[in-house]
């Protein structure tokens, strides 16, 4: 009886599963797609599509134009005396820190002791000279065994000998003093950074210039498409901050280690594709910090300014931005704008090729909304608007 009951329960469960599963397999997907389409259409969105142009992307890191890290001198037994403060901006030839050479200091101390002894010796000679003159004056003429001139000549010779030793010691001290402290000076104008942690591997300090650039790489496929002085739009990966700039340097040779590795691996062409160092100058450093990751976009070919409808451009705290349909999700792109042209405004940077910018909508659209991908009808409306 129990077995029969279990069979009946199993049959009921199978029937229930079939009721919910079968519609999904044979038509439920279509309803979901229809619902998504309805959701997208309910917003009533008009789009402006950024022209689809060929672009080269360069990923890089913001670095100072000049940078130097000063390691500790392992030959020195003394602790370096830092002459500047953390955050100071120093000019070239500014003394940054000094080392005291303990051995030289000992030699100077020895010479100073010698000078002290020579001064005492000199004073003793003068005392002896004075006593000799006194004795000479007290002695009767007929009892004198020497002359006053001879006494002076003898003691003056002794004084001259001591003076010669004093002169030599002073010369030695002067020479040693130039070696007692080893000074390190700034080679360029920069900002001082002193590590808070004072372990044995930490540098004494770092000096970095205020000027920044982006150090990136481009693969051999895109190398011939770019050139020095070519304009670039750059954006900070973490914050979306955008600036304009240009390519300032392209290395004609891949890194040596990379070239050797590719030859040794004997890999296929795609896997062994070389990369080349590229530097990009920044037109503005506002919102840019040393170490930031940035992506540069270079438009290839005819570089016409992009004109976006003014009503698609939003403003928040003085920053201009547009909302873009990114495969069904609304995302924000910060932009830099230029002059107005009728109902449009020139956008210098911040947009990507084929971006679908939301110009207007029946329902309010905000960053993070899921609206589905733009329909074909919307695409046709966009083309018409652009014409």
Length of the chain: 387
Q: Which two tokens stand for residue 302?
A: 């005819």
Give the CA dihedral 226, 248, 50, 323, nearest 10 degrees. Answer: 140
How large is the average pLDDT for residues 36-49? 68
Q: Where are the alpha helices (DSSP H) in 227-300?
A: 256-265
Q: Which two tokens stand for residue 46?
A: 């008009």
pLDDT of 248 > 50? The answer is: yes
pLDDT of 109 > 90? The answer is: yes
Which helix (H) or strand (E) covers residue 37, if one does?
helix 29-42
Mean pLDDT of all residues belonging to the chain: 83
pLDDT classification of 374: cutoffs 50, 70, 90: low
Q: CA geometry: angle at 198 spanning 194 and 203, to 5°?
A: 55
- pLDDT by residue (tens digit) across 148-198? 888 899 999 999 999 999 999 999 999 999 999 989 999 999 999 999 877
Order of strands across the sheet that contains 205-208: 67-70, 205-208, 190-193, 89-90
- pLDDT by residue (tens digit) across 204-226? 999 999 899 999 999 999 999 99
Q: What is the pLDDT of residue 303?
A: 63
CA distances to 52, 64, 165, 347, 377 from 381, in Å: 17, 47, 102, 22, 6
Residues 6+ apart with CB under 8 A from 205: 70, 82, 84, 96, 97, 192, 193, 194, 195
Cα 28 to Cα 59: distance, rounded to the nearest angstrom: 43
Cα 330 to Cα 366: distance, rounded to the nearest angstrom: 7
Cα 181 to Cα 199: distance, rounded to the nearest angstrom: 23
Q: What is the pLDDT of residue 170?
A: 95
pLDDT classification of 232: cutoffs 50, 70, 90: very high
Q: What is the pLDDT of residue 382?
A: 42
Q: What is the pLDDT of residue 17?
A: 54
Residues 6+ apart with CB under 8 A from 231: 244, 245, 246, 298, 299, 303
Counting residues of the chain whose pLDDT is more than 90, the rounded percentage is 54
DSSP, res 145: S
How large is the average pLDDT for residues 86-113? 94
pLDDT classification of 201: cutoffs 50, 70, 90: confident
pTM of the model: 0.55
pLDDT of 255 > 60? The answer is: yes
Q: Identify the CA nearest to 349 among candidates 333, 363, 364.
A: 333
The residue assigned the tokens 């390519």 is 247
Q: Which two tokens stand for residue 279?
A: 């530097």
Cα 128 to Cα 122: distance, rounded to the nearest angstrom: 10
pLDDT of 123 > 80? The answer is: yes
Q: What is the pLDDT of residue 250?
A: 96
pLDDT classification of 245: cutoffs 50, 70, 90: very high
Helices vs strands, H then E, count in the chain: 7, 20
């Amino acid at each position: 009886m129990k077995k029969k009951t279990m069979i009946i329960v199993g049959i009921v469960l199978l029937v229930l599963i079939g009721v919910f599963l079968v519609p999904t397999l044979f038509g439920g997907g279509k309803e979901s797609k229809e619902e998504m389409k309805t959701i997208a259409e309910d917003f009533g969105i008009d789009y402006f599509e950024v022209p689809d142009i060929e672009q080269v992307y360069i990923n890089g890191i913001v670095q100072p134009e000049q940078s130097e890290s000063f390691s500790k001198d392992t030959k020195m037994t003394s602790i370096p005396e830092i002459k500047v403060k953390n955050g100071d901006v120093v000019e070239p030839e500014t003394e940054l820190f000094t080392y005291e050479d303990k051995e030289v200091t000992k030699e100077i101390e020895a010479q100073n002791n010698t000078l002290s002894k020579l001064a005492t010796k000199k004073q003793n000679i003068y005392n002896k000279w004075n006593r000799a003159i006194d004795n000479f004056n007290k002695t009767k003429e007929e009892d004198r065994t020497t002359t006053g001139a001879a006494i002076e000549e003898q003691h003056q010779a002794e004084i001259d000998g001591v003076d010669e030793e004093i002169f030599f010691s002073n010369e030695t001290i002067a020479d040693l003093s130039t070696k007692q402290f080893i000074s390190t000076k700034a080679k360029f104008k920069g900002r001082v950074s002193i590590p808070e942690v004072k372990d044995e591997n930490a540098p004494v300090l770092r000096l970095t210039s205020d000027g920044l650039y982006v150090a990136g790489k481009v693969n051999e496929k895109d190398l011939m498409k770019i050139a020095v002085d070519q304009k670039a739009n750059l954006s900070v990966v973490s914050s979306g901050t955008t600036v304009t700039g240009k390519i300032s340097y392209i290395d004609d040779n891949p890194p040596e280690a990379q070239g050797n590795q590719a030859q040794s691996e004997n890999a296929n062409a795609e896997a062994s594709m070389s990369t080349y160092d590229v530097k990009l100058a920044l037109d503005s450093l506002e919102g840019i910090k040393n170490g930031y990751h940035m992506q540069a976009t270079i438009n290839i070919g005819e570089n016409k300014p992009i004109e976006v409808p003014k009503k698609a451009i939003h403003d928040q705290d003085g920053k201009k931005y547009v909302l873009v349909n990114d495969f069904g999700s609304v995302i924000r792109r910060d932009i830099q704008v230029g002059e107005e042209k009728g109902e449009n405004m020139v956008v210098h940077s911040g947009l990507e090729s084929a971006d679908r910018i939301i110009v207007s909508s029946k329902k309010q659209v905000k960053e993070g909304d899921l609206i589905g991908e733009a329909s074909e009808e919307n695409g046709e409306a966009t083309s018409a608007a652009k014409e």
